[in-house]
Structure 1
Amino acid sequence: LNMRPLLVCLYVNVSLNTVDGDEVTLPCDTGTDDQRNCDSTDWLLDDLRSPLTVYLFREGQIDDEAKDKSDRLSVSENCSLVIKKVTDEDIGKYTCKQFRSGQQEGQNAVVILSVVTIWRYVIGAVVLVALLIIIIIVAVIKWKRTNGNTKRTDGTVVSIKSSFSLNILIL
Structure 2
Amino acid sequence: MDEFRWIQMFLCLMIQIAVSVNETSMFMKVGDDVTLLCLNVIDEQNYCDGTTWTFASRNKQTTTELITLGQISTEAKTKSDRLSVTANCSLLIKKLTVEDVGFYYCQQYKVEETPSKHTLVHQSLVDLSVITLTEHKDTDKVKLSCSVVTYGECHHTVKWLLKGQAVDKENKETVTSQTDCSTTLPVLKYNYLYSSHHKILKCEVTDTKTGKVQLFTFSHQTSGEETDFVSLRFIIVSVGLAALSITAVTVNMWTKTKGKKTQMDKNTVHYDRDEDVPVNYENVGDSAVSI
The structure-2 alpha-carbon separation of the partners of 1:87 and 1:121, relative to structure 1 and needing over 3 Å to count, comes to farther
- CA drift of 1:31 comes to 4.8
- Cα deviation for residue 25 of structure 1 reads 0.3
Q: Is 1:99–2:118 an aligned residue pair?
A: no
| Cα displacement (A) at 1:105 | 4.5
* Superposition map of 1:43-62 within 5 A: 43-62=53-72
Measure the CA separation in 1 of the matches of 2:72 and 2:85.
Answer: 9
Measure the CA separation in 2 of the matches of 1:56 and 1:99: 15
Q: Is the 8 A contact 2:83 2:92 kept in 1?
A: yes
Q: Which amino acid aligns with 1:116?
A: I
2:187 matched to 1:129? Answer: yes
2:48 touches 2:89 (CA, 8 Å); kept in 1?
A: yes
Task: For structure 2, list consecutive stretches of 5 or more residues without a partner in the other structure.
Answer: 1-15, 112-116, 146-184, 192-224, 227-291
Q: Secondary structure at the match of 1:79?
A: coil
Q: Give, as a single letter, the amino acid of the residue that structure 2 aligns with 1:16.
A: M
Alignment pair present for 1:84 and 2:84 = no
Instruction: Kindly name which structure, 1 or 2, has the bigger radius of gyration based on alpha carbons.
Output: 2
* Inter-partner Cα distance in structure 1 for 2:71 and 2:144: 43
Corresponding position of 1:159: none
CA distance in structure 2 between the partners assigned to 1:58 and 1:120 by the alignment: 39
Structure 2 distance, partners of 1:25, 1:33, is 20
Contact 1:32 1:105 in 2 (8 A): no
Structure 1 residue 33 displacement after superposition: 3.8
RMSD, aligned CA: 2.9
Identity of aligned residues (%): 37
Distance 1:128 1:12 in 2: 41
Q: What is the rounded CA distance, in whole Å, between the counterparts of 1:42 and 1:93 in structure 2? A: 14
Determine which of 39, 44, 48 is the counterpart of 1:38.
Answer: 48
Q: Show the counterpart of 1:110.
A: 125
Q: Is the 8 Å Cα contact of residues 144 and 187 (structure 2) preserved in structure 1?
A: yes
In 1, Cα distance between equivalents of 2:73 and 2:65: 6
How many angstroms does 1:129 deviate by? 1.1
Aligned residue-pair number: 130
Equivalent in the alignment of 2:82: 72
Report how far residue 120 of structure 1 moved. Answer: 5.7
The answer to whether the aligner puts 1:28 opposite 2:34 as a matched pair is: no
Deviates more, 1:90-99 or 1:30-39: 30-39
Contact kept in structure 2, 1:30 and 1:97, CA below 8 Å: no
Q: Deviations for 1:8-63, whole angstroms, at most 9, x for unmatched residues? A: 51110010000000000001103524433111211000012232000000022110
* 1:61 alignment partner AA: Q
Q: Is 1:9 the equivalent of 2:10?
A: no
